[in-house]
Amino acid sequence: MILLIVLCCIMVLIGGIYAGYARDPYTKLIALGVMGGGVMPLIIARGYVDIAVALAIIIPLSTIFVLQLFKKGVA
């Protein structure tokens, strides 16, 4: 269990560092997705399954909205 937590923390750190250095908005979204993939098991391991379900719904919806904003900003 400790190994899983350490791997998830490393995944969150890599995503955070990558999001900090990325210039392209789409690349930042990918990095935030990597961070979300690392945070979700940590939330579930602490027993907050209801919060994990809410995040599983909110994260993809917010990504769709952000992508639509980027598309409008380019045109």
pLDDT of residue 50: 92
Q: Is the pTM of this model over 0.85?
A: no
What's the CA gap between 75 and 52, in Å, rounded?
Answer: 35
Tell me the per-residue pLDDT of 61-70, one tens digit each, with 9 for 90 and over. Answer: 887 887 777 7
Q: Name the band, by pLDDT with cuts 50, 70 and 90, for residue 26.
A: confident
Position 18, amino acid: Y
The rounded mean pLDDT for the chain is 85
Do residues 11 and 38 touch, judged by C-beta distance below 8 A? Answer: yes
What's the CA gap between 66 and 73, in Å, rounded?
Answer: 11
Q: Phi then psi for 37, rounded to 5 degrees?
A: -65, -30
pLDDT of residue 31: 86
